[in-house]
Each structure stands twice: as structure tokens, then as C-alpha cells.
Chains A and B, each alone.
Chain A
Amino acid sequence: MVIDVAGVSAPDWVALAPTFAFVAAAMLTFLVDTVEPRPGTSSNAALAATAVVGSLVAFLVAGYFLVAGVGQPRGTGAVSLFQDQLVVDGMSLFFVVIVGSVTALVSLASFDYLEGQTYQAEYYGLVLLAATGMSLMASANSLATAFVSLELSSLPSYALVAYLKRNRGSVEAGLKYFLVGAVSSSVLAYGISLVYAASGRMKFDAVASTLSTLAADGEFFPGILGIGVVMILLGLAFKTASVPFHFWAPEAYEGAPAPVSAFLSSASKAAGFVLAFRLFLTAFPEVGGLAGGDPAVDWVVAAQVLAVVTMTVGNFAAATQEKVKRMLAYSSVGHAGYVLIGLAALTQGTDHGLVLGASMMHLLVYGFMNTGAFLFVALAEHWGVGRTFQDFNGLSTQAPLACAAMTVFLFSLAGLPVGGGFLSKFYLLLATANAGTWLLAGALIVNSALSLFYYSRVVKAMWFEEADGTVEVESYPTSLYAAVVIAAVATVLLLPAFGLLSPSAFDAATVLF
């Protein structure tokens, strides 16, 4: 079967080109490492370059496909591969774009961050493999592939968090991440097994159709199905760092190397969400009552509860942190709550495309601004700046550019019109209004106000306060700086250029209904 890429007809597996780019890059890093195994040599640059190029390729190809209409109604429609186990459509491409961009930034930043560290090849390899897993999650179209790709993205992540073997924090973070991850994957697996028990199918659409026929025949176990659905929801909550399976997040993000925190909090979260979106919207639309009629298992309300709780817990806990990195970690939990609105606001009589599209756009912008924020922390760590807010005092006098970038990230995260975060935040608020879910709207307002408070604490430290003179910024690590600046520019440009991307998001979202 062939597909059409902007007029050129190509074999359908080409649609998976981004994923292949990740894999190839990963293999290449190992290859480079075998050639030049000793650390601290020219190989570092080569490895970083490989990773950056690989992820850039994935990013660009996915973006090109997105524009060219591959897998979208404009083109030849969704491309399904391996007997529909995988599907490439607007949604998957959109998220590969997110993952690709984040991976590229992270790898770029890592070059300076990993200076003098051993096992660099492994680092980049794991990052790329995790990225592969995430891009597959975006395409997964059956419970089996979903589970496998999720694990593929998780396992490397565990190792990455624990990358700094001699650093107690890193190890502890790795352990907690791993243990919580193990539990939640087993919960997910059990949930999948129950859904299988209730439906006997693995492919999402098949599950949906079978369930409806079964419901028609009356041999339908809402109890088992319900337990399964809830467990799947929670299993994915782990990936998206949503309450109640978020407990790993603060520690992992705080303990892990800053670039890894950036990677996990942006890309991994996005991947978890794309899987959740596709799974729940193609496998359980009728069960959730999206098609009208009263829901057998009201996962929409469940999502509402999770959304409210998640954003509240995340933001309130972030409000009183002393460490900047941990504050960002909690805020990332809070943002998971915002994005959950994409599922939570799918009430009846709502423009589903609008709701889901809003979440997708938020994830896209979030990819840049959050990654940027963590990378700035990486920069600070590189300079030997402490972790608490006070340690950032007066940093603007020494590194105005970086601090300006950080300010952009934080204000954009807070939803001020310095970056795309403004529009996406207000889109989400719009979605809640559109769905008439006033509770969500209220929670969003309260939390975003609170988030403004703790984000501006960093800004205050950087710009308002006087430096105590302990920190002396002597070197300006090129690649790390570049990564931060690029992220900042992207964040800012996403405000005026929002219109270039949002249509594809809304189209991609609408396809799922």
C-alpha cells in the first residue's frame, strides 16, 4: 500500500520516518561509541551532534508531513500500519513534532551539561530510544502496542534519571521513579487485561465496536470494564505525572540531571497524553457517553476529578517550595492538570475539537517553555548557582540574556502574553467555558493565579533582588545557552505564529470524534 506525500507516492512505512530517525540516531550513537569509547574526547561532540541531528530530522520530517497533509483528511487520510497496530495521522505527527523538538533541545543542551561525564553514548542512546518509544506511543493504535511503546519510553527514562550514579539525589530519584513506574505499569497491564476480558479485543476501534455490539446483545460487564478503564486511566496518569500517580515526579525532576528533567517533564508527559487521548477517544467513546446517551463508565467525570485535584495539588504544593527546580517539578504536575481538561471537558454539547485541540496546543507550547525553564536551571547548575530562590538573587545583572529568557518561560507558563503559553492557557479556559464545566474553570482560574505568584518569585529573585556576590558567572556554555535562547525565541514566536499550528491541532483532534 502506498501513500501520497505532497504529490510523491511512497510506501506507507515512510509515514513512520520520524520514528525511524530516532532509532537510527540511537544506533548511530552506539556505533560512534564503539569507535571512540573513551570519554572526554571528540566523540562527545559527535554524539551530541548525532542526537541533535537525529531528533531534528524527526522533528522536521514530522512537521513536513503535518504540513503536507500526510495521514490527514487533506491527504490520503490516516495511514495504518502492521494490521492497524500503529496509525500515523495528524495527532501522532503533531506529538512527534513536540517530542522531536524537545529531544533536539535537550540533546543540544546536554553537550555542555555532560562535560566530563562518562557513559555519554549511553546517555544519548537512552534519550533517543525513549524518544522512539514516545513517538510510537503517539502512533499506538492497540492496547498491545500502547503498552509496549509505553514501556519502551519508560525503561530508558528510569536509567536516565539515575544517570549520575555517584549522586545520591539522582539515584534516589531513579529508584522512586522506577518503583512507582513499576507499580503503575502493572496497574496499567491489569487494567488492559480487564478491558480485554470485557471486550476480547486489543485494537482501540475494535474494542469500541465490540463493546457497542456486546452492549446491544446485553452481554456486557460494565463492572469489569469500569475497573479496567479506571486502572488504565491511572496507569497513564503515571506517564503524564497526574495525581494520584504523580508522586515520582517531584523527586525525579529534582534529582535527575536537569536536561533529563526537561525531557521527562515535557516530552514524556506529552507522549502519555497523546496515548490517553487516542485510547479513550477511539476505544471508549460510547462507554464514556461521548456519542450521546448516558455513559456506562463515566471516565469524563473521573478525568474532571483528576484534573481539578492534579492542578490544585501541583500548584499549591509548588507555591511554597524553596528550591526552584522542585517548584518547576510541581508546576509541571499542575500543568498536567490543565492539559487533562482536554479529556475532562468532553461533556455533551461541547465542541470536542476545540477542547482537545486546546490541550494539544498547550502541550506544544509547554514543550518549549517548560524545557527552556529546566534548561535554564541546568545552566544555573552549570554555573554553580544554588538551588533555592535566594541563590538566584540578582542573577540578571550577570546574565541578562539568560534571565530574560527564563522570564519569558515563566511568564508564558503563568499564561501572560509574552509567549504562546498565553493563548494556550486561555484556550483551555475557553474550553472549560465551552463545556460549561464551571468547576474546572474556577479551579483553572485559582490555580493559574497562584502559579503567577510562585513563577514571579523566581523573576523577583532574578531582577528585583541584589546579588550577594557569591556567584560569579565566568563561562557562557555555548550549546546550553543556544538551547535556552532557541527555546525562548520559539516560545515568544508561538504567540503571533499560534495560528500556523493551531489549525492542524484542531483538525487532528476533530478526526478522533
Chain B
Amino acid sequence: MPLAGPIEALLAVTLVGGLVVMLAPDEHAGKLATVISLLPLAGSLWMYATFEGAGNALLGGELAFESTVGWVELAAYELSWHVGLDGVSMPLLLLTTVLTTLALVSSWTPIDERESQFYGLMLLMETSLIGVFVALDFFVWLVFWEFVLVPMYFLIGVWGGPRRRYAAIKFFIYTNVATLVMFVGYAALVFALGDSVSSFDLPAVAQALQVQGNLGTFFGIEPPVLRLVAFTLLFAGFAVKVPVFPLHTWLPDAHVEAPTPVSVMLAGVLLKMGTYALLRFNFTMLSDTALANEGIIVAFGVFSVIYGALLALAQQDLKRIVAYSSISSMGYVIVGLVALTPHGIGGATFQMISHGLISGLLFMAVGVIYNETHTRMVGDISGIADRMPWTVGVFLAAAFGYMGLPFMSGFAAEYLVFLGAFDSGIPYAPLVTAVAMFGIVVVAGYLLWAMQRTLFGEYGLATDYDVSRAPVHDVVPLVVLLVLVIALGSQPSLVYGMIQEATAPLVPTTLVPGGELLW
């Protein structure tokens, strides 16, 4: 079939739109970009409404809006343009389109130079993010996966804070290396599969890997070892994006230096690329290896949870606090994934969506406060609630959402993850889960502390700006996100149904570890 599917339309609109906006005059760029971004938003909503996928995209599930076109012949391998959606990628696609539009709106106030370039790049980033979630052929996926770095590099480097150059290049190289490492792992895997695959197509490779004996000895590396090596390389590569301790240090810098709308995209969607890839590669293709090494992997997750929370506790910069707490929250995703139980994997995926919304919400709220006060330091602000009640109200709601308040998506996600992890094959599952859950206390600790210092008490401000109520178009995105968070928290099935459809096939039939520990 020709390149005419709705997915291609989405990509084309954002790409062309991005280029057009770049040429548009600065004063109109913001509105124009926002309007353009409504198209993919509407499109993705329509796709969500008419979604008919079932099962997992990689394990022979029924794909929605699938299309395949030959692209490159690589010696014995056929690379093709292969895109489609399943229950995992559909919600993530929605998350991307929603957050992009809101982020664009929230940029109206803070972005005041080279606007056309900024908004153009934002749209280009949306293109690549969409691409990451819809691509099913490895190389197509890789193109989008890597292309994300380019707009991000500029968005941080040009519009960022004082240390933007350092942050930009750090993020740039760090993630690029990760990709290269991960690539080698996947390549080795495909080559070791020999004749059983004739392409790098993710579904093809995933299904080939499910068959015992397909994987041959590769330059003297026995299949089990090779699986482990490939798993490790892939995990290392994706762990950077997630990020998992100890590969996380690019994140705080990037977050703090990036302008708020970019932080929103970074925390909201870019981090999900990592966990999404982990889900697709490590926990779908190599789930047996994951199962065999649950102990070590979950250790990374749990440690990230506690460690990230502790670090957040030590920060003074509101953005840095949220940044580190993102590390913590993403740790839950790891815990859920590695549990490999229905609610474990499902909850982890739901947590991706939930954290995307909530962290975006929190970053935007910080941004709105920053727009008015021009400081993010906890010590510099106090009693803001006196001046901007509604913003603070939303901030409060967002913070409690982050702490896992019931009827907000965060609680649903975390509860499902805990439920899934508690009764899983992880060694000492209940104990490990309990340790991970302690994160919810620490998170409450630092968020409440920060709020008490900044929002409440007598009004005071270290910087000499006159704080007034934030403009409506600053608060609207917050409200929209808040509504979404509450909606998902009160009725998770809005997306959780399709997520489970897609993740159920990943659950191993038996939870007894499938192989001996090879470490």
C-alpha cells in the first residue's frame, strides 16, 4: 500500500508544519505552531477513537493503522518502512500529541527570541517522537530515535539557561553513545539469528527469538551468553534515556538548563522513549533473559527509586527537585516491567503515561511560577499562594498527584506496579516491593517541604519582580493536564484496557526463572 496511512499523515503534518513555522515571522510563530499541532492532536484522538488493535505489536498482535513499504536492501536484509500501533504505542502517541500542544501553549510567555526557530524545532521533535512510538522496523525506529536529539540539542542549547552549552552537549553525547552501544547489541542478535530472519523488523526478530534454536552461536558466543550480552548492551543503551542509576547524570543538567516547555517534553515524553524501548526490546524479545536476571534488574529499579528520591530531597532548585523525582518515578517503571506479571507490565506502561502527564504538569507549574518570579530557588520564594492562588492550587494538585494521591493517575499506576511486583518471580518480591514503595514517603517529604517553603507562609521574593496572577494561557495547559490526570486516575481503563491487551502476551506462562543466572 502507498504511504497514505493516518500515521504517515501525522508525521508529514508535523514535519512540514515544523519547516513552515521555521520560515514564519517570529510574532506569529507561536500561534501558528499551536494551531498546526492541533492537527496531529485531533488525528491521534480520532485514531484512539477508532483504534482496533489487539495483542502485542511484536508478538503477532493485530496492528492498527499498519503500513509497510520497502525501503532499503541491505545485503541479505530488507529494511522497510513499517509502522503501526498497538495498545502500548497508542497511548504514548496520544501523550506525545497532547503534551506537545500544551507545551507549545506554555511557551508563549517564556520564549521571546528566535521564536519561529523554537516552535519549528518543537514540531520537528514531535515528528520524531511520534515516529519512535509508531515505527516497527528497527532502522526506521532508529532514525526517529536518534533524530530526537537534534531538535533537543538546539532547544536546550539556544534557549536554555546559563549552563545550557554544557547541558546540551552532555545530553547530546551521552544519549548518542547509548544508542551506538544498544545498536551493537541488537545487530549481534539479528546476525546470530542467521537465516531465520531476513530483516531488522522488530516483530520479525521478536518472533524469531521466541523460537528456541533459532539463535545460533555467533563468533564463538553461545546463545545463552549472547542473549545476556545483547540484553546487557540494550539495557545499558536504554537505561541512559530512562534514566537508570548510574547513567542518569545528564538528566538534571538538561532539565535545569532547558526552557520549561522543553523540560515538559523531556520529562513527559523523551524519558518514556527509554522505558518504551526497554519494554519492546529487553522485556519482549529477551523476556526469558530478563526473567533469569530479575534480581539484578529490579535492584537497578529499586535503587533508582530511593536514590532519586533522596537526591530530590537535597535540592534547592524546584526544577532539579522534579528532575530527580523523575528518576525516582521511572524506577517504578523498571520495577513493574521486570516483574513480568499482568499488572506489573501493564502498570509500568500506565505509569509511563501517568508520569508523562504529571511530571509535565509539575514542570509547567514550576514554569508558570518562574515566569512571574524569575527564580526557581526554594529559598528565594515564599507565600506565592498569596499572589497566584489558582496556579498554586494546580501546583498543589500536581504535587499530590506526584505523591500518588488516589483518583489521580499516579496512584493507579503505582498501585498496579506494586500489585504486579509484589506477587512476582522476583526474589523476595514482597520485601523488594516494600522497599521500592518507601519512595512514596520520601516523595511526600520533599514535595511538602518545598511547597511549605515556597507556596505558603508570608509572601516574599528575593528577585525584584512584581508577582501577579499568571496569564490565562499559562494556566490553561495546567488545568487540561490536571483534568486528564484525574480522569485517568478515576477511570484508568481509558487506556489501561488497551495497554493490557498489548502487554498480556509478554507475561511468561510460568514465573519460574527461565534460565540460570549467568553473571
Contact = CB atoms under 8 A, between A and B. Distances in A.
Determine whether A and B are in direct contact in the complex, meaning some CB atoms lie less than 8 angstroms apart: yes
Given A423-B72, A427-B74, A448-B180, A433 B154 contact: no
Interface string A129-166: 00000000000000000000000000000000000000
B173 A449 contact: yes
Contacts of B177: 445, 449
B435 interface: no
Given A416-B150, A436-B219, A464-B165, A357 B75 contact: yes
Contacts of B158: 463-464
Nearest to B80: A499
Interface stretch (A94-102, A287-295, A348-356): A348-356
Contacts of A353: 75
Contacts of A366: none
A411 B147 CA distance: 10
A36 B147 CA distance: 51
A502 B72 contact: yes
Interface stretch (B183-191, B376-384, B493-501): B183-191
Interface in A435-457: 436, 441, 444-445, 448-449, 452-453, 456
A94 to B, nearest CB: 15
B187 A453 contact: no
B139 interface: yes
Contacts of A445: 177, 180-181, 184
Contacts of A463: 154, 157-158
B187 A429 contact: yes
A460 interface: yes
A498 interface: yes
B142 interface: yes
Interface string B173-208: 100110011011001100100000000000000000
Interface string A343-384: 000000101011001000000000000000000000000000
Interface string A386-416: 0000000000000000000000000100101
B169 A456 contact: yes
Contacts of A427: 74
Given A429-B187, A506-B75, A449 B146 contact: no
Interface string B143-170: 1101101100110011000001100110
B73 interface: yes
B172 interface: yes
Contacts of A453: 169, 173
A510 B71 CA distance: 20
Given A416-B147, A433-B184, A464 B157 contact: yes
B472 interface: no
Contacts of A432: 184
B219 A499 contact: no
B397 to A, nearest CB: 37
A435 B142 CA distance: 21
Interface in B72-127: 72-76, 79
A422 B158 CA distance: 24
A436 B217 CA distance: 12
A266 B241 CA distance: 35
Interface string A499-510: 100110010001
B220 to A, nearest CB: 8
A505 to B, nearest CB: 10
A98 B163 CA distance: 42
A429 B183 contact: yes
A499 B80 CA distance: 10
A185 to B, nearest CB: 35
A351 B76 CA distance: 9
A495 interface: yes
A433 B187 contact: yes
Contact of B183 (A349, A426, A503): A426
A434 interface: yes
Contacts of A498: 71-72
B172 A499 contact: no
B262 to A, nearest CB: 14
Contacts of B51: none
B209 to A, nearest CB: 17
A224 interface: no
Q: Which of B72, B76, B181 has the most CB of A within 10 A?
A: B72
DSSP majority for the A interface?
A: helix
Given A434-B187, A445-B180, A464-B157, A456 B172 contact: yes
Interface residues of B, number: 37
A441 B184 CA distance: 8
Contacts of A456: 153, 169, 172
A92 to B, nearest CB: 20
A449 B187 CA distance: 19
A449 B180 contact: yes
B70 interface: yes
B331 to A, nearest CB: 26
A116 interface: no
B143 to A, nearest CB: 4
A460 B157 contact: yes
B303 interface: no
A414 B72 CA distance: 21
Contacts of A354: 74-76
Given A499-B70, A502-B74, A349 B219 contact: yes
Contacts of A426: 139, 142, 183
A294 B165 CA distance: 52
A430 interface: yes
Contacts of B75: 351, 353-354, 357, 506, 510
B150 A411 contact: yes
Contacts of A429: 180, 183-184, 187
Nearest to A453: B173
Contacts of A108: none
Q: Which of B70, B75, B149, B188 has the most CB of A within 10 A?
A: B75
B184 A422 contact: no
A418 B147 contact: yes
Contacts of B147: 416-418
Contact of B218 (A357, A414, A436, A448): A436
A502 B173 contact: no
A99 B139 CA distance: 29
Nearest to B75: A354
Contact of A503 (B73, B144, B168, B191): B73
Contacts of A449: 173, 176-177, 180
B164 A464 contact: yes
A445 B180 CA distance: 6
Contacts of B139: 423, 426
A204 B456 CA distance: 84
A411 to B, nearest CB: 6
Nearest to B160: A464
Contact of B176 (A357, A430, A436, A452): A452
Contacts of A418: 147, 150
Nearest to A426: B183
Contacts of A495: 143
A179 to B, nearest CB: 38
Contact of A433 (B73, B76, B191): B191
A78 to B, nearest CB: 20
Interface of B: 70-76, 79, 139, 142-144, 146-147, 149-150, 153-154, 157-158, 164-165, 168-169, 172-173, 176-177, 180-181, 183-184, 187-188, 191, 218-219
Q: Which 9 pairs show the lowest CB-CB distances between chains A and B?
A: A436-B219, A499-B72, A433-B187, A354-B75, A445-B180, A417-B143, A449-B177, A417-B147, A417-B146
Given A417-B144, A441-B184, A452-B173, 9 more contacts: A417-B147, A426-B139, A445-B180, A449-B177, A453-B173, A460-B168, A464-B157, A498-B71, A503-B73
28 contacts: A349-B219, A353-B75, A354-B75, A354-B76, A416-B176, A417-B146, A417-B150, A422-B146, A423-B139, A433-B188, A433-B191, A434-B187, A436-B218, A436-B219, A444-B180, A445-B177, A452-B172, A452-B176, A456-B169, A459-B153, A460-B157, A460-B165, A460-B169, A463-B154, A464-B158, A498-B72, A499-B79, A502-B73
